[in-house]
Amino acid sequence: MYEQIERYLAGKMVADEKAAFEALLLTDNRLAEQVQEHRTLLRSMQHYGQRQELRSKLNSIHTQMGKDQEARVIPLWNAFWKRHTQTMAVAASVSLLSVFGTLWSVQQLKEPVQQQADRYVALRREVDKLKKAQSAIINDINSTAKPVPRPARFSGTGFALSANGYLVTSSHVVEGADSIMIENEAGAKYKVNEVYRDQAHDLSILKIEDPAFTGFGKLPYTFKTAESDLGEMVYTLGYPREDVVFGEGSLSSNSGFEGDTTAYQISIPLNPGNSGGPLLDDKGNLIGVISGKQAGQEGAAFAIKSAYLLQILSELPTATTLLPLSLPKTNTLTGSSRPQQLKKLRDFVFVVKVYN
C-alpha cells in the first residue's frame, strides 16, 4: 500500500489506476489519512534537504575564506575587507535565505501538529461522552428502565433476502464492526451477525440473531435472473440519512466500474448511506444491490447484479453451516403504482447501524 501511495504522490500512476485509487480514497478514511501523512513527511524531508544543501554551501564558503586568509600575509583589515566584501555579502544573503527557509519549514511542520491537536481535542470529547454514558449505565444498573444504548456509527442500508431472517448489504458497510443492528422505518430493530462475505464484489450476507424476531413474512419482490435492458427505468430505497430516501433513474450500462460484468452502472444520485440498498425495475423485480458511485462523476453509480447475488446464495449451504434460504417466488409489486410499491417495500429495507 505504501508503494501505491508513493507512486500516487509522485504522479507515476496511469489514468485508470489513479482514478481507481482516488475512488478508494473517498471511501477509506484511514487510507486518506495515510496519504496525507506521507505527503507531509515528503515535504519535511525535502525542506530538510534544502537546509542541508545551504549549510554545505556556507561551510564551503567559510573554508575558502580561511584558505585565502592563510595564503596572504597582508595583516591589514582594510585589504581583507576589500578582497572579501563580495564573498561576505553572498554569505549573508545565503544565511538570510536559510533563516527564512527554516521559518517557513517550521510553519509547515506546525500544520500537522495542529491537526493532531485538533484530533486530540475531538478524541477527548468522545472520551468524555463515553464516560458520561458509562456513568449513566452504572447509576441505572439496578433500575428496571432500559439501559442507555451505545452510540452507533451510521453506516448504510440493507434489505431482506428471505422470510427467515437473512439480509444483504455492502461488505464495506459492516467492515470492522463489533456488533451490528438493523432498523426499518416502522421501528423494528434486530441484532444481526455477518455470516458470509464476498469482499471482491463488496457483498455481505447478514442473519438476524434476536429472540424477538419471528420472521419477515412474505417478501413483496422477487430476484430477477435475466439481464436487464439498457435504458430501463430503475429505482432504489435507502438510508443516506436517518430517514428512508427514494431515488429514481435509469440503467445506463450493462457493466460496472472498469467493465465489471457482474455490475450495472445506473444514473441515480446516491450518497454513501445508500450502499447495500436494493435496486429494482419498474415492475418491482429486484435487479441489483447498490455498491457505490464513481468519484468525480455525479450520477454515475454502480450496483451488483442480482444474478451474481443469486449465484452466491446458491453456494451458501455448501460453503457455510447456514440454513437454506427460502427466496421469494411471487412479486406482489407488479402492476402497482410507484407510491404503492414503496409502501410495500419499505418494511423490508433497513438502516444498518455499526457499533465498534
The CATH number covering residue 236 comes to: 2.40.10.120
Q: How many domains does one find in the chain?
A: 2
pLDDT in tens, 78-113: 656 666 666 666 666 666 666 666 666 656 655 554
203 falls within a domain? yes
146 falls within a domain? no
74, 104, 139 — which closes off a domain?
A: 139
95 in the same domain as 205: no
Q: Which residues of 297-323 are buried (b: 16+ CB within 10 A; e: fewer)?
A: eeebbbbbbbbbbeebbeebeeeeeee
199 in the same domain as 135: no
255 in the same domain as 119: no
57 falls within a domain? yes
218 in the same domain as 114: no
Which candidate, 3, 71, 11, places its Cα nearest to that of 34? Answer: 3
25 in the same domain as 71: yes
219 in the same domain as 119: no
205 in the same domain as 352: yes
139, 172, 190 — which closes off a domain?
A: 139
288 falls within a domain? yes
Report d(CA 264, CA 291) in Å as an integer. Answer: 10
According to the 3-state scheme, what is the secondary structure of 255-267? CCHHHCCCEEEEC
227 falls within a domain? yes
279 falls within a domain? yes
118, 139, 160 — which closes off a domain?
A: 139
Report d(CA 191, CA 169) in Å as an integer. Answer: 14
Helices (H), 12-28: 15-27
194 in the same domain as 103: no
147 falls within a domain? no
157 in the same domain as 18: no
Query: Dihedral of the CA atoms 13, 17, 20, 23 (nearest 10)?
Result: 10
Report d(CA 318, CA 240) in Å as an integer. Answer: 35
Whether 324 and 262 have beta carbons less than 8 Å apart is answered as no
Altogether, the residues listed in the chain come to a count of 356
* Model confidence, pTM: 0.57
Range of the domain at 45: 2-139
Q: Mind listing the pLDDT tens digit of every residue in the chain (356 residues)?
A: 677 777 777 787 888 888 887 787 788 778 878 877 878 877 777 777 777 787 888 788 778 776 766 555 445 556 566 666 666 666 666 666 666 666 666 566 555 545 554 554 455 555 455 555 555 555 554 444 444 455 566 679 999 999 989 999 999 999 888 899 999 988 889 999 999 999 888 899 999 998 889 889 899 999 998 999 999 999 999 998 888 999 999 999 998 887 888 899 999 888 878 999 999 999 999 999 998 776 656 667 899 999 999 888 887 755 555 666 778 889 999 999 999 999 999 999 999 999 87
97 in the same domain as 51: yes
206 in the same domain as 62: no
235 falls within a domain? yes
108 in the same domain as 249: no
Report d(CA 240, CA 322) in Å as an integer. Answer: 30
Whether 346 and 184 have beta carbons less than 8 Å apart is answered as yes
